[in-house]
Amino acid sequence: MAKTIAILGVTGNQGGSVASTFLSLGWQVRGITRSATSPAALDLKARGITLIEADQDDSASLVKAFSGAHVIFAMTDFWAAFSESYGKLSKVSDRAAGEHAREIEVTRGKKLVDAAAKVLADEAVLERFVLSTLPGFKDVSGGKYTFAYHFDGKADISAYLKGKETLWAKSSLLNMGFYMTNLVKSGTMVGFTKKYVMRKPGKNTAIHPFVNTRDTGAFVELLVNSPPCQDLLGVSEMGSYNTFMELLTEVSGKSCISQEISVEDADKALPGGLGREVGESTATSAEFGWGKHLVMPKDLNPDIKLTSLRKYIEGENWTDLFNKM
């Protein structure tokens, strides 16, 4: 009988990719969502995914949703809590919205770890728990950068998971790199403030891990087929913003460049905490990397097929972004 994977965040970028991969592998795919009647959920249902409603704020619903699964993929969403509170809390202090969202994310993350631990203890069916996470950039930067709350909160959840020894022995961590889609989705907000100039902290030649979220399923498949306790960097291609902009110039015919700015400039462009949250993430990555402890996908499978920056940029629709300039 086919094994079951339960996917928390199935209607999102990461979970959607995991669902597609495991459907194509012939698994029973159970998608977890707060609303099984949303358009995104109905689309998944039509593709053969069984839907179950659960909320990360409701532990009992998580236990029910995880029950009987051989593999669980789970993520937490920092940005919804940040965005919802930003208008109000950005007026309180530069840290208020980040601290608020981190607290919500960590509380939810601990609840889902507890639910997975309970299901494992009660049923002994679970074979692999894969948690989407990020390294703590406060630690990685030696305390220099302290505003990357969406990294530091996820690291707290990973540490909590590692403290649950029985569950951790069946778990692995997936640290997703910078989404390749960040520029097209929020370029005018965080970068493309002048015509075709990508402004961000960190040297233009610094190497970052870029990820196509459509590769998430390939990373999870890799972690299911590898020994547990991996700390994997979810990277499709390592590259610099210079390379990104050179490829975009070639593909679009527009002259696109990257420009280094300071974290203070990022803060001035997006005051109230957002500029620092995003800017310090890029600055940490550029100056310190993501941590030498992380394993690369090709270390686990030299033949893994992932999306190159060129392939992503060639396949993306850039019209709306350029029209906004």
Ligand X SMILES: NC(=O)c1ccc[n+]([C@@H]2O[C@H](COP(=O)([O-])OP(=O)(O)OC[C@H]3O[C@@H](n4cnc5c(N)ncnc54)[C@H](OP(=O)(O)O)[C@@H]3O)[C@@H](O)[C@H]2O)c1
List interacting residues with ligand X (CB under 6 A). 8-15, 33-34, 55-57, 75-80, 134, 150, 176, 178-179, 182
Of 124 and 223, which CB lies nearer to ligand X in the complex structure?
A: 223
Residue of closest CB approach to ligand X: 12
Of 48 and 91, which CB lies nearer to ligand X in the complex structure?
A: 48
Quote the CA–CA distance of 18 and 220 in Å, as a whole number. Answer: 7
Of 51 and 224, which CB lies nearer to ligand X in the complex structure?
A: 51
Of 169 and 245, which CB lies nearer to ligand X in the complex structure?
A: 245
Of 46 and 124, which CB lies nearer to ligand X in the complex structure?
A: 46
Of 190 and 245, which CB lies nearer to ligand X in the complex structure?
A: 190
CB of 121 to ligand X, least distance (A): 22
CB of 63 to ligand X, least distance (A): 14
Which two three-digit tokens encode residue 314?
Answer: 């060639």
CB of 1 to ligand X, least distance (A): 27
